[in-house]
Amino acid sequence: MASTKPRDWADDDEADEVAVELPPPQTIQNKDGTKTTITYRLNENGQKVKTTRRIRLVTHREVVNPRVADRKTWAKFGLSEKDSVGPQPDTTSVGENIIFRLSTNWRKDTKDEAKDPNANAMKEQLKDKTVKCRICNGEHFTARCPYKDTMAPVGAEGGADVAAGMGDEPATAQGGAAGKKGSYVPPALRGDRGGAAGERMGGSKYGERDDLATLRVTNVSEMAEEGELRDMFERFGRVTRVFLAKDRDTGLAKGFAFISFADRGDAVKACAKMDGYGFKHLILRVEFAKKAQ
Amino acid sequence: MRPILLSGHERALTQIKFNPDGDLLFSVSKDQQICVWFAHNGERLGTYKGHQGAIWTVDVDPTSTMIASGSADNTMRLWEIKTGRLLKTWDFPTAVKRVEFSPDGRQLLGVTEKRMGHLGTIVVVPIVLDVNAEQSDERDLTIVCDESKATVAGWSYLSKYIIAGHEDGSVSQYDAKTGDLNDNIPIHELNMQVTDLQWSPDRTYFITASKDKTAKLLAARDLELLKTYPADTPLNSACITPKKDYVILGGGQAAMDVTTTAARQGKFEARFYHKIFEDEIGRVRGHFGPLNTVAADPTGKGYASGGEDGYVRVHHFDKGYFDFILLGVLIFAASHLTEALAFEDTGLFRDKRRNAPLGASV
């Protein structure tokens, strides 16, 4: 067709595509007893597809009853009438391998398989541990604490509690991180960071707050109100912020509060005077708040 | 062991059956198809179309020329295996829950449901084992179960008895010639229905599965209780493996509770018990619904299970299955061996006990 008529470049050359001669299928006998067959076909886009198959023929001889052999030659019928020879992928598939070992103590065997010894040991360790927030001692993870951005952890007095104080003081954290090899240290706490300026860079939105003049008041009565605390501390100077931690469900105070003063001098005075002050049958403990993170 | 999954059914399987040569596997489900598969590779040979309701049961004749099926469309049908041709339809007033060919293939029994004022019956019809012959409409026998309806039934050796399992957990023996009730024994717990009844290869004993979480091995001759296999879940099916002395039980959480149960909790596993020692020796998981039916390959090479999940899983056993010997068997053999040795009295054992150098007295 192409030879009889001068061809234009815009001509649809589909007809010619079909005419493209497919190379004959090849069969190569390999040295290791396998066969390589190369076949060519055209796909729906008219492109030539080369398929290379490597086949190893293994003759598995099985003696079957002639009746059984005869049945294997039967024509398919019903819904399988149009199926080709061999199992059809829509009705037949091969499941995952099942380890099936008969044994009288199979019950024990399967249990051992199911449980990783390490996971088991860990489970044992954590059996009677409950989740405890380092900030407010609530039953949730510290990361989920509603006061996480506003407060320092409760138990972090004087940096004695290293485990709880990890995030409180960068200095201790660094020391801890360096000591424990292999444990993950967030970039912000790594020793090689570029000093205080860098530290501030990605700080939280509360980073700017002047924590120098903030007092932490603990052992506060459940019945305490923010207003009462404000009144008490206002005597020493201008109070910029009073925060009293309250339980979300009951609305009762959790027993600690933060008081921020405008001036650090006032805070020092208040700290000295109010530490040990009796308030609602409880003796307050007042100290300077430590930096959260 | 890699199971072959057969997904030809759209609804829960109700029964699967191997032919006597073990090369064909018939499966019926609550959809309206009967499927036949090649057991060795899971290839579907064909389907038998014609039933208008859920199919409860299927059985294949001893020569693998015909199958019978029973359905909720109140019919029992006879089909030619090779072509899928419908040969005969028997109509009943209620659903047919179980069919079974007699060992010689010349009779077929059907168990009909008790419903709509009709009592449950066991019907026996004659069969001509020729695909071109006219099958007769008459009944050889009709046994009416007025006490408690039969749920399963089968032929004993030589078609001598018809053994039936009942809804109330009892098992009864009928004379297969006259239909007289010989015996009725409460085998399973009261009102825990017998869900399956399958035969040993020689049909002298059989296994029953029940909702009371046990399977029991009974002798056909006098319904003597031979063995009990306790499980922790209601059982839907049980079969006896040829070649090796095991039984396979299938069951699981009741079908209606399946969607609210995790696969592990649901106990959707095939359980293997030693037939003689009654020890549980293994489980095969895989189904994600209760096992409604299990069948052992008559050649002993494998077994298949059909589940509420609509899948049939065909398993071909590994070498370990055939090599396994229960410790009890070993001890038994060993004790006999030592006895024999002691009898011979070589002095070897006694000398060992006295710490004398071995062979001192030999």
pLDDT value at A170 more than 60: no
pLDDT value at A263 more than 90: no
- Supply the DSSP symbol for A143: G
Q: Please enumerate in sequence order all residues whose Cβ is within 8 A of that of B79, keeping only pairs 6 or more positions apart, or say none.
A: B34, B48, B50, B66, B67, B68, B69, B85, B86, B87
For position B143, which CATH number holds?
A: 2.130.10.10
pLDDT value at A163 more than 60: no
- Determine if residue A76 is left, alpha or beta; phi over 0 gives left, psi from -120 to 50 gives alpha, anything else beta: beta
The total domain count for chain B is 1
The residue whose two tokens read 């499980």 is B231
Hey, are the CB atoms on B45 and A104 less than 8 Å from each other?
Answer: no
Alpha-carbon span A40 to A18, nearest angstrom = 13
Alpha-carbon span B200 to B217, nearest angstrom = 10
Q: What is the mean pLDDT of residues A59-85?
A: 84
pLDDT band for position A54 (cuts 50, 70, 90)? confident
Which range has the worst mean pLDDT, A5-19, A45-59, B88-102, B218-232? Answer: A5-19
Give the chain B residue whose CA is nearest to the CA of A114. Answer: B264
A-chain residues near B285 (CB < 8 A): 98
> Is A54 or A176 the better-scoring residue by pLDDT?
A54
Alpha-carbon span A258 to A250, nearest angstrom = 20
Looking at CA atoms only, how far is residue B34 from chain A in angstroms?
10
Hey, are the CB atoms on B21 and A79 less than 8 Å from each other?
Answer: no
Alpha-carbon span B14 to B12, nearest angstrom = 6
The residue whose two tokens read 């009944």 is B139
Q: What is the mean pLDDT of residues A54-61?
A: 81
- Supply the DSSP symbol for B116: T
For residue A102, give the amino acid letter: L
Alpha-carbon span A152 to B191, nearest angstrom = 67
Which residues numbered 31-70 in A keep a CB inside 8 Å of some CB on B?
Answer: 64-65, 67-68
% chain A with pLDDT above 70: 66
Query: A252 is written with which tokens?
Result: 């009762």
Question: Quick one: pLDDT at residue A152?
Answer: 67
Hey, are the CB atoms on B64 and A94 less than 8 Å from each other?
Answer: no
pLDDT band for position A164 (cuts 50, 70, 90)? very low
Give the chain A residue whose CA is nearest to the CA of B284. Answer: A100
> Is A177 or B14 the better-scoring residue by pLDDT?
B14
Asked if A9 has any chain B CB less than 8 Å from its own CB, the reply is: no
Which residues numbered 82-111 in A keep a CB inside 8 Å of some CB on B?
Answer: 83, 86-88, 90-104, 106-107, 110
For residue A57, which of A78, A39, A34 has the smallest C-alpha distance? A34
Which range has the worst mean pLDDT, A139-143, A284-288, B11-15, B168-172? Answer: A139-143
Hey, are the CB atoms on A91 and B6 less than 8 Å from each other?
Answer: yes
Which range has the worst mean pLDDT, A142-156, A159-173, B80-94, B241-255? Answer: A159-173
> Is A279 or A130 the better-scoring residue by pLDDT?
A279
Q: How many CB pairs under 8 A join A and B?
A: 121
pLDDT value at A169 more than 50: no
Hey, are the CB atoms on A97 and B279 less than 8 Å from each other?
Answer: no
Question: Quick one: pLDDT at residue B252?
Answer: 83
Q: What is the mean pLDDT of residues A282-291?
A: 83
B297 within some domain: no
Q: Is A73 helix (H, G, I), strand (E, B) or coil?
A: coil
Question: Quick one: pLDDT at residue B264?
Answer: 57
CA A45 to the chain's CA centroid: 44
Hey, are the CB atoms on B7 and A100 less than 8 Å from each other?
Answer: no
Q: Which CATH architecture fits A214-288?
A: 2-Layer Sandwich (3.30)
pLDDT value at A255 more than 50: yes
A-chain residues near B45 (CB < 8 A): 71, 74, 76-77, 80
- Determine if residue B30 is left, alpha or beta; phi over 0 gives left, psi from -120 to 50 gives alpha, anything else beta: alpha
Alpha-carbon span A141 to A134, nearest angstrom = 8
B335 within some domain: no
Hey, are the CB atoms on A88 and B44 less than 8 Å from each other?
Answer: yes
pLDDT value at A202 more than 90: no
Hey, are the CB atoms on A77 and B318 less than 8 Å from each other?
Answer: no
Looking at CA atoms only, how far is residue B69 from chain A in angstroms?
16
Of A64, A81, A87, the CB nearest to B41: A87
Alpha-carbon span B128 to B273, nearest angstrom = 38
How many Cα neighbours within 13 Å face the side chain of A286?
23
B258 within some domain: no
B254 within some domain: no
Q: Which contacts (CB < 8 Å, 24+ apart) does range A140-149 have?
A: A146/A248, A147/A245, A148/A292, A149/A204, A149/A205, A149/A206, A149/A292
For residue B293, which of B111, B123, B97, B158 has the smallest C-alpha distance? B97
Q: What is the mean pLDDT of residues A175-191?
A: 64
Hey, are the CB atoms on B45 and A102 less than 8 Å from each other?
Answer: no
Q: What is the mean pLDDT of residues A100-106?
A: 77
- Report DSSP letters for B47-101, one per residue: EEE---S-EEEEEE-TTSSEEEEEETTSEEEEEETTT--EEEEEE-SS-EEEEEE
Highest-confidence segment of A149-158, A233-242, B198-207: B198-207
> Is A274 or A128 the better-scoring residue by pLDDT?
A274
Domain ranges, residue B137:
3-239
Looking at CA atoms only, how far is residue B40 from chain A in angstroms?
10
A-chain residues near B327 (CB < 8 A): 104
Hey, are the CB atoms on A95 and B327 less than 8 Å from each other?
Answer: no
Query: A225 is written with which tokens?
Result: 């109100």
Of A78, A96, A102, the CB nearest to B281: A102
Question: Quick one: pLDDT at residue A143?
Answer: 77
Question: Quick one: pLDDT at residue B263?
Answer: 58
Looking at CA atoms only, how far is residue A112 from chain B in angstroms?
15
- Supply the DSSP symbol for B189: S
State the greatest distance between any 2 C-alpha atoms of chain B, in Å, as a whole number.
85
Alpha-carbon span B68 to B28, nearest angstrom = 11
Hey, are the CB atoms on B23 and A64 less than 8 Å from each other?
Answer: yes
For residue B181, which of B190, B172, B191 has the smallest C-alpha distance? B172
Which range has the worst mean pLDDT, A137-146, A202-211, B190-199? Answer: A202-211
Query: H-helix or E-strand containing A282?
Result: strand A282-283
B-chain residues near A70 (CB < 8 A): none
Question: Quick one: pLDDT at residue B225?
Answer: 92
**pLDDT tens, chain B, 362 aa long:** 889 999 989 999 999 999 999 999 999 999 998 999 999 888 999 999 999 999 999 999 999 999 999 999 999 999 999 998 999 999 999 999 999 999 998 999 999 998 878 889 999 999 998 888 888 888 888 999 888 899 999 999 999 999 999 999 999 999 999 989 999 999 999 889 999 999 999 999 999 999 999 999 999 999 999 999 999 889 999 999 998 899 999 988 776 665 666 655 667 889 999 998 888 888 888 888 889 999 999 998 999 999 988 999 999 988 888 888 777 677 777 777 766 665 555 544 444 444 444 444 43
- Supply the DSSP symbol for B176: T
Hey, are the CB atoms on A77 and B83 less than 8 Å from each other?
Answer: yes
Of B43, B47, B318, the CB nearest to A92: B43
Question: Quick one: pLDDT at residue A180?
Answer: 52
